[in-house]
Structure 1
Amino acid sequence: SQQRATINAVAVNEDGVMVTGDSLTQSLLLLEEIKSFGKVREAVRNQGTGSLLGMVKAGMTDEAVWLYENMEERCRKLKENSLSFDVKIIDSVVKVFSATTRHDSYRPWQNLEVQECGGSFAISGKRILTCAHVVTILNPCTFIDVQRNNSTTLYKARVTKIAHECDLAILEVDNNEFWEGLSALSFADIPLVGEALTVVGFPEHESNVCESGLVTGIKFRQYTHSQTEHLAITVDANIISGHSGGPAITQGKVIGVAFQSIDFKVFKAHISVIPTYVVMQFLSSSEESQQLSSFSSLGLTYTLSNFSKGVLINRISSLSGAHKIMCPLDMMLAIDNVAIRNDGTPFRGEERIDFRYLVSLKKPGDSLLIKFLRSGDVHECDVTLKPVTPHLEVQKYYNRPKYFIFGGLVFVPFSKAYMDDIGYRLPADDPLFTTEIEAKELDVGELVMLSRVLRHDTNRYYEHLERRQVYKVNGVKVNSLKHLVELIEQCSMEYLTLDLQGGEVAELHYASAQEATSEIVELYRVFYSKSD
């Protein structure tokens, strides 16, 4: 009863107007910062609702204060957005069903059946735009169906273009019946911070669901699907699985594609939207492959300077167009005559944005005019942007998972897919989570895991060493799975010694383990002891 009284109290603003729906959800977040329900009850009884909200405000974090102070404006914008929303747009949003098989990262010689459901929408040229992770794996066992709004008919679709790096894909449907009366949606530019929008999607077992919110930020953010950073629009709306691939709409036009949620400490209902300029880059770029990304990069790392202008160059890749032109410790001052500030590059009016935005507007092969400071002198140079090798996480979508079995010990490279497959069922203190942190924080090569122990007399008592990182083989530091295979296969010592995470050591009699490997793979019905 105390909780209900509290909710009813906070659901009224200082003017006595009820706060409902989406705004009520945000209001309830403020309750988490009230330390005592007793104080709330006393405030309601003795001083009224207005004083209650003043008390709530006094105990809030800065983010929650901002939310409270802008609540009235937020409600007004959401109401205007709701009234102006054209429901006919929903008819252009399409539900996507995909079913396929993929390799099990924990048992890489086996397949798992995967089913996904998400949103998409019609664009020009009789094409459907969705997220890559909605269709993800493309192989002969992949089947994709699409379903129009308020229809029970499924139509066969196929992927004609996909880029895992930016998490986007294009579908096409050959059946002309599907396209009858289906209007293509048009795109608009990046919205303003504070602008209201609506995200349309198809949560599982539901018809279309629209969620509204305000744009709260525009910044570079990691795309979970590829582990690479691109510009993303942050919106304080709440979406669930099934909204991915759906359009984010404002003033009747698409400003982006919903693709992932964000878990903030205070705002627990935030989503990221792929902005339209990334979509346009994807639509006009060359095909992504295992070797080449469809996006360009300067190929350097940097830190913010202590001055108001410029960023300090730390390292330049030998594959970068700036290699042998710029040097570490150079101060990059401007790109294409747009000044770089350590608080962000001027974007629109008072808005600031990461300078990488200027680079991301270009395609591989385009050039940039870069102004930089070296030893007190200002220099200018033209740098040609080169295509880059996709992130390891992107490459994995084009490869069979790698593994190596020796003496019943199964070795695999650490990856996001591996973490996703088994991380959810492990206790919080499992060593695998330490490896995940190390992979994110350290600039290292491929981490190698002792993933499983296929029990056999030759590896008896080592089953507790599963999911541990392999540091060394016979005293030599391991830098990739390929390197580990070479070290083991070329071993000339009587015993094979593995230094593992947590100070653990595994020691196998080399000849016995080598002889037992063929017996173990046959016993466990594994076709090959190592991947191609």
Structure 2
Amino acid sequence: MLEALPTPGEPLRREEHIVEDAKDAPFMDNVVKVFCVHTEPNFSLPWQRKRQFSTSSSGFVIEGKRLLTNAHSVEHHTQVKIKKRGSDTKYLANVLAIGTECDIAMLSVNDDEFWEGITPVTFGSLPRLQDAVTVVGYPIGGDTISVTSGVVSRIEVTSYVHGATELIGVQIDAAINSGNSGGPAFNHRGECVGIAFQSLRHEDVENIGYVIPTPVIEHFINDYKRSGDYTGFPILGVEWQKMENPDLRKAVGMAPNQKGVRIRRVEPTAPAAQYLRHSDILLSFDDVAIANDGTVPFRLGERISFSYLVSQKYTGESAKVKILRDGSVNEYNLELRYHKRLVPAHIKGIPPSYYIVAGVVFAAITVPYLRSEYGKDYDYDAPVKLLNKLLHSMAKTEDEQLVVVSQVLVADVNIGYEDIVNTQVLAFNGTSVTNLKHLANMVESCKDEFLKFDLDHQQVLVLETQRAKAATPAILATHCIPSPMSSDLKTTVS
């Protein structure tokens, strides 16, 4: 399976050599070691955080007195420090932007002393197959800089494990180990052509590593320059089906010379929902013809998924699409936006939301929540109903959330409900629940005799309103919980 490489973990599986003389490879002086102290949220007890822990990874200097590393190397950071090659000083760093989807983070150091004698890396173009690459960083196995060499073995749209998205990636056969995260990959001219970020761990393979290529890096940097922050990689907002079967193409009225993919569903929150429909045939994107297998031409003799064209755009930009509908061809200019997921892949550094009444803890489902509750194999071990929502459900509105009863803190007032865990809340007193804020508002302002929560699996949780609200402070005190709701809900609950 693909794994991100946040910290030193597994032993080295390939020889590496230490470069002693900077004159042999002066570009390596741009590579730094990143030390980070993380304090992760506690999703089981969202009113507090987990015990802090430390990691080390790699990074490198770019123009504008900035540094790049992996997003997962500084996720949930409380302190980040940088050490230059050959230096005994660690400098405090600021995190300017974290690109969760592309697994890149931008840092800065305010101390002018740090920048003395450092020249930023220069970026090269996207490498080609069999091009030699050199990965430089500070992996497990020692404290000094390490170099591993290999060649480019594959270039395609691949899964970014940390970002839970798909972007163009470069597969190499150089060893990429824990601690290499964020380190640059150089070509034979000393130009940076990628950032090490994950490797393939499987009993049948070895020495398969992945680097984030320059098109993705430049998108991240330009995005920051344009907006002063990271706005993300936009999506078209459709799910599609291949049209390789000739009978299927004939049935939808495609001419022999027409190619494209069939739109299965359109995201309700995407601008494309105003123009595109179920069963439309997507023929081209920005005048680039889409093949029946969903690929487009990519350099000489290569093809790549058309999602690569979408990923080259910036949030808020438009794209021209051509579709076939009922035998006629139509063109639309669509705005491209950031992906709004019903179950978000990341919480982007924001503390998890929660709401408590009578010991019943309500929370909003996210992928980090599921991973915290069910481990790294959450996509197998989590409840089927929640996984179905994660994989197949689409948000109908921008603020929709999947709200669950996370757990029930046992007390006399909630007797009989203690076994309800991670079960979706569908409605409160007959009103469908849109998100956690909506639920908290309804409960806090409720004047009815009972609080009635309609749950998934046809379960019902009913509490007497006055008794439930009166019991809440004592339950919070018993469990040392400072507030019945997270701070982001306090501004909305009247």
CA gap of 1:374–1:390, structure 2 versus 1, over 3 A, is closer
Q: Which residue of 1 aligns with 2:390?
A: 440
Q: Which residue of 2 aligns with 1:97?
A: 35
Displacement of 1:505: 6.0
Q: Which residue of 1 aligns with 2:238?
A: 300
Q: Which residue of 2 aligns with 1:248?
A: 185
- Secondary structure at the residue paired with 1:518? helix
Q: Does 1:118 align with 2:74?
A: no
Displacement of 1:121: 0.7
Residues 361-403 of structure 1: CA distance to partner in whole angstroms, max 9, x if unpaired? 223454434333233333444x253443665647722533110
Q: What is the alpha-carbon distance in structure 1 between the residues aligned to residue 386 and residue 123 of structure 2?
A: 38
Among candidates 103, 106, 114, match of residue 167 of structure 1: 103
Structure with larger Rg: 1
Opposite residue 106 of structure 2, the aligned amino acid is I
Contact 2:39 2:49 in 1 (8 A): yes
Matches within 5 A, 1:87-236: 87-112=25-50, 113-137=52-76, 142-203=78-139, 206-207=142-143, 208-236=145-173
- Secondary structure at the residue paired with 1:103? coil
- Secondary structure at the residue paired with 1:451? strand
Calculate the TM-score normalised by the size of structure 1. Answer: 0.72
Contact 2:237 2:266 in 1 (8 A): yes
Q: Does 1:408 align with 2:359?
A: yes
Contact 1:403 1:412 in 2 (8 A): yes
CA gap of 1:313–1:181, structure 2 versus 1, over 3 A, is same
Displacement of 1:348: 2.1
Q: Does 1:492 align with 2:448?
A: yes
Q: Which residue of 2 aligns with 1:333?
A: 283
Displacement of 1:276: 0.8
Q: What is the alpha-carbon distance in structure 2 between the residues aligned to residue 193 and residue 235 of structure 1?
A: 9
Q: Which residue of 2 aligns with 1:282?
A: 220
Q: What is the alpha-carbon distance in structure 2 between the residues aligned to residue 266 and residue 379 of structure 1?
A: 48
Contact 1:296 1:385 in 2 (8 A): no
> What residue ranges of structure 2 are gaps of 5+ in the alignment?
1-11, 18-22, 250-257, 396-400, 490-494
Q: Which residue of 2 aligns with 1:450?
A: 405
Displacement of 1:175: 2.6
Q: Does 1:512 align with 2:467?
A: yes
Displacement of 1:464: 3.7
Opposite residue 144 of structure 1, the aligned amino acid is V
CA gap of 1:102–1:151, structure 2 versus 1, over 3 A, is same
Opposite residue 124 of structure 1, the aligned amino acid is E
Contact 2:268 2:394 in 1 (8 A): no
Opposite residue 378 of structure 1, the aligned amino acid is V
- Secondary structure at the residue paired with 1:198? strand
Contact 2:359 2:414 in 1 (8 A): yes
CA gap of 1:152–1:438, structure 2 versus 1, over 3 A, is farther
Q: What is the alpha-carbon distance in structure 2 between the residues aligned to residue 121 and residue 100 of structure 1?
A: 20
Q: What is the alpha-carbon distance in structure 2 between the residues aligned to residue 123 and residue 152 of structure 1?
A: 22
Contact 1:292 1:388 in 2 (8 A): no
Q: What is the alpha-carbon distance in structure 2 between the residues aligned to residue 436 and residue 347 of structure 1?
A: 38
Q: Which residue of 1 aligns with 2:6?
A: none
Contact 1:96 1:147 in 2 (8 A): yes
CA gap of 1:528–1:128, structure 2 versus 1, over 3 A, is same
Q: Which residue of 1 aligns with 2:492?
A: none
Q: What is the alpha-carbon distance in structure 1 between the residues aligned to residue 359 and residue 280 of structure 2?
A: 51
Q: Does 1:273 align with 2:228?
A: no
Q: What is the alpha-carbon distance in structure 2 between the residues aligned to residue 288 and residue 478 of structure 1?
A: 37
Q: What is the alpha-carbon distance in structure 1 between the residues aligned to residue 102 and residue 227 of structure 2?
A: 13
Among candidates 258, 279, 296, match of residue 345 of structure 1: 296
Q: Which residue of 1 aligns with 2:5?
A: none
Q: Does 1:388 align with 2:344?
A: no
CA gap of 1:194–1:481, structure 2 versus 1, over 3 A, is farther
Displacement of 1:429: 8.4
Greater relative contact order, per chain length (Cα 8 Å cut-off, separation 6+): 2
Contact 1:412 1:449 in 2 (8 A): yes
Contact 1:223 1:230 in 2 (8 A): yes
CA gap of 1:435–1:205, structure 2 versus 1, over 3 A, is farther
Tell me which moved more, 143-152 or 487-496.
487-496
Calculate the TM-score normalised by the size of structure 2. Answer: 0.77
Q: What is the alpha-carbon distance in structure 2 between the residues aligned to residue 22 and residue 474 of structure 1?
A: 59
Q: What is the alpha-carbon distance in structure 2 between the residues aligned to residue 161 and residue 217 of structure 1?
A: 29
- Secondary structure at the residue paired with 1:296? coil
Number of residue pairs aligned between Structure 1 and Structure 2: 448
- Secondary structure at the residue paired with 2:375? helix
Among candidates 313, 317, 339, match of residue 263 of structure 2: 313
Opposite residue 62 of structure 2, the aligned amino acid is I
Residues 406-460 of structure 1: CA distance to partner in whole angstroms, max 9, x if unpaired? 2212121122222333433999986x35466334322144333332332222234
Q: What is the alpha-carbon distance in structure 2 between the residues aligned to residue 23 and residue 517 of structure 1?
A: 58
Residues 130-179 of structure 1: CA distance to partner in whole angstroms, max 9, x if unpaired? 122222236xxx32210112332111221233333322222122333322
Q: What CA RMSD, in Å, does the superposition of the two structures yield over aligned residues? A: 3.7
Among candidates 455, 460, 465, match of residue 420 of structure 2: 465
Opposite residue 478 of structure 2, the aligned amino acid is L
Q: What is the alpha-carbon distance in structure 1 between the residues aligned to residue 451 and residue 269 of structure 2?
A: 41
Contact 1:197 1:212 in 2 (8 A): yes
% same residue: 33
CA gap of 1:425–1:441, structure 2 versus 1, over 3 A, is closer
Opposite residue 181 of structure 1, the aligned amino acid is G
Q: What is the alpha-carbon distance in structure 2 between the residues aligned to residue 404 and residue 93 of structure 1?
A: 45
Residues 73-106 of structure 1: CA distance to partner in whole angstroms, max 9, x if unpaired? xxxxx99xxxxx9644433211111225443222
